[in-house]
Amino acid sequence: MFYFIIRFTVSLLLKIVFRLKVYDRDNVPKRGAFILASNHLSHLDPPVISVASPRVLHFMARHTLFKNRAFAALIKALNSFPIKRGGIDPEGFKEVIKRLKNGQVILMFPEGTRSKTGEFGPAQPGIGFLSITAGVPILPAYIRGTREALPVGARFIKPCPISVYFGKLIEPKKLTFSSDKKEAYGQLAVYVLNEIKRLKDSLQ
């Protein structure tokens, strides 16, 4: 209930302040687990994609954000769970797979971090590992405008138009990758990021 109250409130703010528009929302599966993969330009991206998605999302959050009990309780109520950055986090990955196995939707950024320049960074293999291990598809999405509204390092938000574009569902089982698992994880991650790039290119 708390998630929906917050999402509704944020939705109003995004539509009023940023004139949020969402395209091809029908591409979002109505049921079943999947990973929602998006480009990452700003701290605004998670709330924007949450409002754009008709499905409830679950989020990986930096483990240090859970040190404060009150704040930890707040973000847990919004479906966030801790994950360590800078390397492999077995416990964090187990939690992702558990939630996917339960039919939930996980938001991930294939680049792993926000872009400081607005350009795409290299794809990280984690999304490939989790998709293949859990046996779930990936839905690419492209967010436009959040960098102009709140770029990396900015202290104030600018009321710029923001839009979200959903692509076509990617089903790894229907694609061909290397027989080497580690290589396959990386290849799938690159494939996903290229699909997000294609969404961007289609707008030009």
For residue 122, the domain's CATH number is 3.40.1130.10
What per-residue confidence (pLDDT) applies to 7? 94
Confidence of residue 24 (pLDDT cuts 50, 70, 90): very high
DSSP state of 65: G
The predicted-structure confidence for 146-185, as pLDDT tens digits, reads as follows: 999 998 888 889 999 999 999 999 999 999 999 999 999 9
The predicted-structure confidence for 31-68, as pLDDT tens digits, reads as follows: 999 999 999 999 999 999 999 999 999 998 888 888 88
For residue 86, pLDDT over 70 is answered with no
Instruction: Please tell me whether residue 20 adopts helix, strand or coil conformation.
Output: coil
Mean pLDDT of 115-130: 91
Residue pair 192/123 in contact by the 8 Å Cβ criterion: yes
Count of other CB atoms within 10 angstroms of residue 160: 15
Domain extent at residue 7: 2-201
Closest listed residue to residue 187, CA positions, set 109, 128, 110: 128
- Overall number of domains in the chain: 1
CA atoms of 74 and 116, how far apart (whole Å): 28
CA atoms of 195 and 13, how far apart (whole Å): 29
Strands (E), the chain: 21-23, 34-38, 57-62, 80-83, 105-108, 138-144, 163-166
